[in-house]
Structure formats: C-alpha cells, structure tokens
Chain A
Amino acid sequence: MSAAPLVELRQVSKRFQRPLDLAEKMARHLGAAVSERVVHAVDRVDLSVFPREVVGLVGESGCGKSTLGRVVVGLYEPSDGAVLLRGVDRAGLDREARRRAQLHAQMIFQDPFASLNPRLKVREIVGEAPRVHRLVARRDLDPMLDDLLRRVGLDPSYKSRYPHQFSGGQRQRIGIARALAVAPEFVVCDEPVAALDVSIQAQIINLFGRLREELDLAYLFISHDLGVVEHIADRILIMYLGRIVESAPTEALFGAPNHPYTQALLAEVPRLDVRRRSFAPVKGEIPSPLDPPSGCHFHPRCPHAMERCRREAPALREIAPGRHSACHLNERG
C-alpha cells in the first residue's frame, strides 16, 4: 500500500506495576527479597494499520491484545516505544494537536452493557463528543444524530431512550454510532461481537463491513474468535503473552500457518464442517503473564521445542514477503 499508515507502533511496550504495600516495604527494609511485581502486558510490538485496511489481532485471554488496543487509541501511554499517527510521533504533539489527532482513532468496546452510561439518553451518549469538540453546530446536531442512527440500523426515534431499553445487539449499535460521531478514519474494535448471540453477531459483522465501505474506515479488530477475524480481516496478527508471534495476510495465514502456536489455534477452533473429531489438543495452560516462561513464551506447550527455545526468545523475522513469524524453527536449513 502506498499511503502512509494511519497508525504505526514502533517497539511499543506496556508494563503495569503494582507498588509495594507498607508490609512489603518493611520486609524489604529488613532485607527480604521483595520486589515490585511487573506485568509485561505488551512486549516490543510493531504494528501498522493503513487506510481502509482491516487488521485482525488474535490471542487468548491475558495475551495483551486489549491493552495493545488501548495504547493504540491513546487510552494508555506506552511504557516504551513510539506511537505514530500518520507518521507523527504522538508523544511530540501539543495538547491541542493531540486532541485533534486522537479524534481520528475511536474505540468500540466488548461489553455493550458496561460501555454505555445508564443515566444518559442515546441522544447524549452519541451526541456528546461532536458537541464538546464543536464538530457540529447545535441546530445541526439532531439531523446528524438521525443520520448516524439510521446508518447503524437504529430507528432515529430511539434518541430519547435510555440504554436499558435496548437489547445487547442494539446497544452495540449505539456504541458504534458513538464511535462514528466524530468521523474517525480508524476504529479499534475490542471483541465487539463476543457478547452477542450468533444471529445478532452476523448482523453486527455485516454492519462493520458495510460501514467500512461507506465511510472508508480502517479497523484494528481484536478478537479471540478466529472465525470472525478470518471473515473480516485483510491481515492478521497473532499474539501470545504480550508478543506478536506471527503476522500475515489472512489467506496466507489460514493456508499455511507458520508458528506452532498459530498452528495449534487453527487446529483447535471448532468449525461447522468438522464432525466428531478426536485429536490431541495442545497441552498445558496459558502461563501467567506475571511469570512468563523464559526464552520463547510458547516453549513449555510447543511440540517442537528445542533447548534453544528455553534460552533465547526468537525475533519476529520476515519469512516471506509480508509474512513474519517468531520461531527458531524457521532458521534451520
């Protein structure tokens, strides 16, 4: 793609620390080996999203995919590394420039029950941001809201209702209208259909597809559901315990997954066309991000693990044009 990426992450890390409490501080004072617990939620991640592109970010719970999404839209500051918006480092922007830049990146959350203020009417939920940011004149607000609600498949007369009067799928539509109200060019969707019934899920996925066409949107689509991501994404990143382990165009990834973790994930997704199967699934649990395994984080569960995997974390290397994988196996002969 020729255009500059809308968003680019360079070696971004995000760490969370829990400060020591009083007893622990005293213990340390007396010589006990107590140190602050640090979680490397996101570990040196590179990522870029180009205009009109849908990038899928897949991983299991605790892998850091939601944290990464929040870093991308600016809800979290990265601990290390740089976030570039259309080529400009976000950290270098002044307050006003940053505010304007961030309007271009919006977020849609997983839980349509927790992400809408129950005391506000739909008119206020969707209309607040464009009003506060003075994107629309007061008299134009109502027609704009009608247009937005229609666009996401809601009846404009619902404007004066409260969130509790809607079903889960309808609430997710309200969340989408809220994100679109400031005319973003890029939306981070954090598990937006995970909480919905299958038939409602299809409606919302189709809505994402249509909005992308109509509004030239780019998405970072975060999900644990490979079927959904395969359907909607152009390119997919696979994340495991804070690191990207593989990235590839969707067809290539599903055609020939490279990383052993990707292979395990693809083999184990239940599929409609696979019946009464009996296979031996990948062993072991997802390790705690508080205490990740040494070297390659996947080595305790990996069927191909070698001595080297315990010692040394593999770098994400290009294995084919546009394809990257972080596995020592790729360096053999």
Chain B
Amino acid sequence: MSAAQPLLAVRDLHTHFFTRLGVVRAVDGVSFTVGRGEVLGLVGESGSGKTVTGFSILGLVDPPGRIAGGRILFEGVDLTRLPEARLRELRGERIAMIFQDPMMTLNPVLRIETQMVEAIRAHHPEVAAAEARRRARDGLARVGIPAAEERLAAYPHQFSGGMRQRVAIAIALLNRPALLIADEPTTALDVTIQAQILHEVRRLCAESGTALVWITHDLAVVGGLADRVAVMYAGRIVEEGPVDAVLDHPLHPYAKGLIGSVPSRNRRGAPLQQIPGMTPSPLRLPAGCSFRTRCERADGECREMPELMSVPARHLVRCFHPHLEAAS
C-alpha cells in the first residue's frame, strides 16, 4: 500500500432504491476520499442521500435498495465486491458506525458488559474474558462514564440518552477502528451534552488516529469539528473543500443559501436568507442540475448536469455559475 493512498476512497457510488413507484437514486455518483486521521463533514438536508452514503460504506443498505454502481475502496480493497463474511470481519473492527439513535447499536435486553465483551471477542477470540472485560471498562471510562466498573452491569434503559450515546461510542471505538462513520449522533441531544460528546469524539479520534466521517444537517457542528466538508443535495455532492473555504466562501448557490439561512450573530432580527421552494421528490428530479428549479442563477446551460469542478485549488463545486466573486 503506497503512502499516498487514502484510507477511504469512494468512487462514483450509486445506491438506488427500486420501489414500486420507480427508481430512487438516493446516491447518484458520489466520490470523495478520507485520509488517515482526517475528519470529513458530510452535510445535507433530509433526503440528500448523506445517510445512505454512510450505510453504503458499511454494506448496510437493505432491499429494495442496493449499490448499483461505483467502488468503495477501503485501504485499497473494494468493499462493494467483498463477500458478506469478509464485510462482517471489517465491521466493528476496522470500520465502525455510530447512529443517531444509540439503540440501533445497543441490545435492550443485554447488560452493557455482555455487549461490549461480545464486540471484542467476536473479532478477537484469543482475548480472555477477563481481559475483554477490563478493556470494556476502560472503554466506558474513556468516553466519560462515571463509575465504569458498576455501569458495566447496567442495562441500556438505565442510562440517559446522552449516556447511551456514550456507550455506543465506546463500543464503536473498542477495537480502535481506522474509520468511524457517525450519522447525526448528537442531533437528539441537548446543547451541553452535545458539546461533551463532540469534545470526546474529537479527542478520541485524535488519540487513536481514527478517521471520522461525520454525517449531519448541522453546519455549525461541522465547523467546530471537521477538516473538510462535502455538501450533498439530491444524491450528489455539490461542493467540497477545506472547512474554512466552504463555510466562509461557499461557491455553490445551494451551499451559500444553506449557510445564509443559519441565524448568526451579526444579522440579528434581519430576515434570514431563504432558499425558495423545497427539496424536489427524488422520483421527479429535474433534468440537469437538480437545484436549478430553486436557483436564482440558473439558465439554459443548467439543463445539463455540471461536473464537479476544481475552481480554486482543493475546492470543488458542481455548478456552471458558482459564486466566484466571494472566493477571490
């Protein structure tokens, strides 16, 4: 493996859902890379395909959905061609996921200890039970759960929402994965608890060199966490670049509108910028650029699908009429 090879390279990924009403192209030609130890924020609104992208990487897309094309190269191996048994070996070991609802991870009828020890020994049967238990306890302590020794014996319902999410994170990090995919894990949490979790995840990933893909609708969270940002709209990445470039000088009209619609300190009371209309139904996307029906810059040219173009260095945008004046 060459040093220049990224940890994860998603290439032209297509994940489609074959429904009775037609084919939903939830992910339609998504490409991005994540380097070792890097934090990528994957941002989009409901229906943009950000969660399906995350699920595709782990091979968790259920029928009627399936990966219809493209490659997902993890450490050079194409995950889309891997048999299920090999994928299971990777999941929870080299690649882990935390979900919006921690009960996606946790089994409600098993003690935390049972679940954590199983997560270790499923991948490392050579680890003795006592040693696995010790690792589980240390894992809980690392994510800031007080009295970790006693809490091992508890059931998930005995934890608060924030604590449950910590347990799910502890389980995800047990085997020191190279890649962690986090799907809106703090959306349901209160501000002070969200701040704690963001702080812990960032610290833990930095300590263990774990790369992080943080999927969210919350641009402000991404600003505090990510090195790079990719903005998705209707199944495609429309803009990607370093976090400062994207948030301070968005190029795509959608990204610019999204950032302008977040209330911010210096425009108090003034009307917020708003994007007209709503996300079109995935079954009836306009031909060409999917944003053109809501875009003030759209013209005839936009009936063609623009490619993701590198405008300034390292800053990609999928638009014929990007806001270049802002970037200069």
- Are A and B associated in one complex? yes
A residues engaging B (CB < 8 A)?
60-61, 167, 169, 197-203, 205-206, 209-210, 224, 226-228, 230-232, 250-251, 254, 264-265, 268-283, 285-286
Q: How far is the CA of A60 from the CA of B162 in the complex (A)?
A: 12
For B219, B226, B267, B274, the residue with the greatest tally of chain A CB atoms inside 10 Å of its CB is B274
* Interface-lining segment among B89-97, B124-132, B188-196, B301-309: B188-196
B268's partner among A61, A167, A230, A278 (CB-CB below 8 A) is A230
Contact in complex: A272, B261 (CB < 8 Å): no
B262's partner among A167, A198, A224 (CB-CB below 8 A) is A198
Residues of chain B within 8 A (CB-CB) of A275 are: 223-224, 243-244, 247
Contact in complex: B162, A285 (CB < 8 Å): yes
With both chains docked as a complex, state the minimum distance between the C-beta of A81 and any C-beta of chain B, in angstroms.
27
Contact in complex: A60, B192 (CB < 8 Å): yes
Contact with A along B213-248 (1 / 0, CB 8 A): 000011111011111000000000000000110010
With both chains docked as a complex, state the minimum distance between the C-beta of A49 and any C-beta of chain B, in angstroms.
18
Q: How far is the CA of A254 from the CA of B227 in the complex (A)?
A: 28
Which chain B residues in 251-286 approach chain A with CB under 8 Å? 257-265, 267-269, 271-275, 278-279
User: B157 on the interface (CB 8 Å rule)?
Assistant: no
Contact in complex: A198, B264 (CB < 8 Å): no
Q: How far is the CA of A228 from the CA of B244 in the complex (A)?
A: 23
Contact in complex: B272, A270 (CB < 8 Å): no
Query: Can you pick out 6 interface pairs between chain A and chain B where the beta carbons lie within 8 Å of each other?
Result: A198-B258, A199-B261, A202-B260, A270-B220, A271-B224, A282-B196
**In the complex, the 9 A-B pairs of residues with the closest C-beta atoms, listed nearest first:** A202-B261, A231-B263, A268-B195, A270-B220, A60-B190, A281-B195, A202-B272, A197-B45, A199-B275
User: B163 on the interface (CB 8 Å rule)?
Assistant: yes
Residues of chain A within 8 A (CB-CB) of B163 are: 285
User: B323 on the interface (CB 8 Å rule)?
Assistant: no
Contact in complex: A197, B217 (CB < 8 Å): yes
A276's partner among B217, B224, B265, B273 (CB-CB below 8 A) is B224
Contact in complex: A224, B190 (CB < 8 Å): yes
Residues of chain B within 8 A (CB-CB) of A280 are: 199
A167's partner among B192, B199, B269, B278 (CB-CB below 8 A) is B278
Residues of chain B within 8 A (CB-CB) of A230 are: 263, 265, 268
Q: How far is the CA of A230 from the CA of B269 in the complex (A)?
A: 8
Known: A264-B192, A268-B195. A274 touches B223 (CB 8 A): yes
14 additional A-B residue pairs with CB within 8 Å, beyond A198-B261, A206-B274, A279-B199 = A60-B190, A197-B279, A200-B278, A202-B260, A203-B274, A206-B272, A224-B190, A227-B262, A265-B191, A268-B192, A271-B220, A274-B220, A276-B224, A285-B162
Residues of chain B within 8 A (CB-CB) of A265 are: 191-192
Number of A-B contacts (CB under 8 A): 132
Contact in complex: B225, A276 (CB < 8 Å): yes
Contact in complex: A199, B223 (CB < 8 Å): no
User: B160 on the interface (CB 8 Å rule)?
Assistant: yes
Known: A60-B191, A202-B274, A264-B192. A270 touches B257 (CB 8 A): no
Known: A250-B268, A275-B243. A282 touches B195 (CB 8 A): yes
User: B46 on the interface (CB 8 Å rule)?
Assistant: yes
Contact in complex: B263, A228 (CB < 8 Å): yes
A270's partner among B203, B221, B267 (CB-CB below 8 A) is B221
Residues of chain A within 8 A (CB-CB) of B267 are: 231
Q: How far is the CA of A278 from the CA of B163 in the complex (A)?
A: 21
For A226, A277, A280, the residue with the greatest tally of chain B CB atoms inside 10 Å of its CB is A277
Residues of chain B within 8 A (CB-CB) of A206 are: 271-272, 274
Contact in complex: A169, B272 (CB < 8 Å): no
User: B202 on the interface (CB 8 Å rule)?
Assistant: yes
With both chains docked as a complex, state the minimum distance between the C-beta of B160 and any C-beta of chain A, in angstroms.
6
Q: Find the B residue at minimum CB distance from A264.
A: B192
Q: Find the A residue at minimum CB distance from B271.
A: A206
Contact in complex: B258, A199 (CB < 8 Å): yes
Contact in complex: A269, B191 (CB < 8 Å): yes
Residues of chain A within 8 A (CB-CB) of B257 are: 199
With both chains docked as a complex, state the minimum distance between the C-beta of B44 and any C-beta of chain A, in angstroms.
9
Q: Find the A residue at minimum CB distance from B206.
A: A278
With both chains docked as a complex, state the minimum distance between the C-beta of A230 and any C-beta of chain B, in angstroms.
6
A273's partner among B162, B217, B258, B264 (CB-CB below 8 A) is B264
Q: How far is the CA of A274 from the CA of B265 in the complex (A)?
A: 12
Residues of chain B within 8 A (CB-CB) of A281 are: 192, 195-196, 199
For A250, A269, A270, A273, the residue with the greatest tally of chain B CB atoms inside 10 Å of its CB is A270
